[in-house]
Amino acid sequence: MACPFSLRLILNVIRVHLSRLENIMSVSVSNSPELTAEQVQKILVQPLEQASVFLSAGPRIFDTDGSPVRVPKMGGATDVTWYGENEQIDDEDVSFDEIVLLPSSIKSVKTLTRFSNELARQSVVSLDAAIKDRLVKDVADKLDAAFLTGTGDVVGGVQSTPLGLINYDGVQTVDAAITLDSMIDAWGKLLSANANTAAAKIIMNPADFVTLRKVKQATGSNQYVLTPDPTQDGVFRLFGSQVIITSRIPAGTSVLADFSQIAVARDQAPTVKILDQTFGDYDQQAIRVTARYDAQPLNPEAVVVIAEDTEA
């Protein structure tokens, strides 16, 4: 039975509106292959800063548009002298220094994860959450490996990856095994560098942490010297500084550092892009993450490395 004219007209109007709605949805924020800044901040940047040992320790982070970052720092001291009345004051030249972060030679951290559309539809878990957790951990691990122990790869005579904390030039060292006494020696050197002790943190390997954790007070009370922070779950303090445990630091090496005097340059925030067409011939989608970071100390003497056989 043919549809009445009025019914056909209504159906045509509905089809037009549905077509318009489909076009609107195809370019909406929720379906856009390029995630918005708010989404990236929520799903990657904040979890990344929490998962990364180095970034969560509190360095000063400078965001950039990709250009090198020049951070000024104090140069040498001037010769301040006592003068009497009407005596001529000598001129003093003030020297300035700076550190350069993210030169054009520094590479980016990049990763790409492909998955089938069948998996996206049939997964019994939240696939986007699982992939996000995987990407956050992988990027955090890669950055920590570079920021803590990286040797600064050199390609064509220029540095292409960040230099690690234990390999900074000009840091102070304590040539000794990791004991409570050597940690006190490190504290003495940190104080001599005019460091902010409130921002100081200790980074050590789990094996060294367990060794110190077993040290008991000499009073016969059978109490351990290294005790948890009663105000926070799972946080330990030694001589007032938070102890961060990570296997990224080699056993037998520990670092006491004022992280407020370490600068990190971030080339924008890590960028996440959904690739829903690139691998269309395989009926696959992909998530691509790119990030570009660099780090250097503003005051190398505010970093103290404790290890046997360190170079003075």
Q: How confident is the model over 165-212, as pLDDT tens digits?
A: 999 999 999 999 999 999 999 999 999 998 998 899 999 999 999 998
88 residue type, one letter:
Q
Q: What is the mean pLDDT of residues 123-143?
A: 78
pTM for this predicted structure: 0.76
Helix (H) or strand (E) holding 113: strand 109-116
pLDDT band at 131 (very low <50, low <70, confident <90, very high): confident
Q: How confident is the model over 34-54, as pLDDT tens digits?
A: 555 666 666 677 778 888 999
- Report which of residues 19 and 203 the model is more confident about: 203
155 C-beta neighbours (distance < 10 Å), count: 10
Q: Is 78 helix (H, G, I), strand (E, B) or coil?
A: coil
Please tell me the predicted confidence (pLDDT) of residue 27: 36
**C-alpha of 127 from chain center:** 25
pLDDT band at 275 (very low <50, low <70, confident <90, very high): confident
- Report which of residues 13 and 299 the model is more confident about: 299
C-alpha 88/C-alpha 245 separation (Å) is: 57
Q: How confident is the model over 26-39, as pLDDT tens digits?
A: 333 444 455 556 66
Please tell me the predicted confidence (pLDDT) of residue 268: 66
Structure tokens at 302: 């505010």
- Annotated domain spans of the chain: 33-69+100-160+265-295, 169-262+297-306
Q: Is residue 281 predicted with pLDDT exceeding 60?
A: yes
Structure tokens at 176: 């000794």
- Report which of residues 107 and 121 the model is more confident about: 107
192 residue type, one letter:
S
**C-alpha of 303 from chain center:** 17
CATH T-level topology, domain 169-262+297-306: hypothetical protein PF0899 fold (3.30.2320)
Computed on alpha carbons and rounded to an integer, the radius of gyration of the chain in Å comes to 28
**CATH class entry, domain 33-69+100-160+265-295:** alpha beta
Q: Are strands 262-267 and 293-297 parallel, antiparallel or unpaired?
A: antiparallel
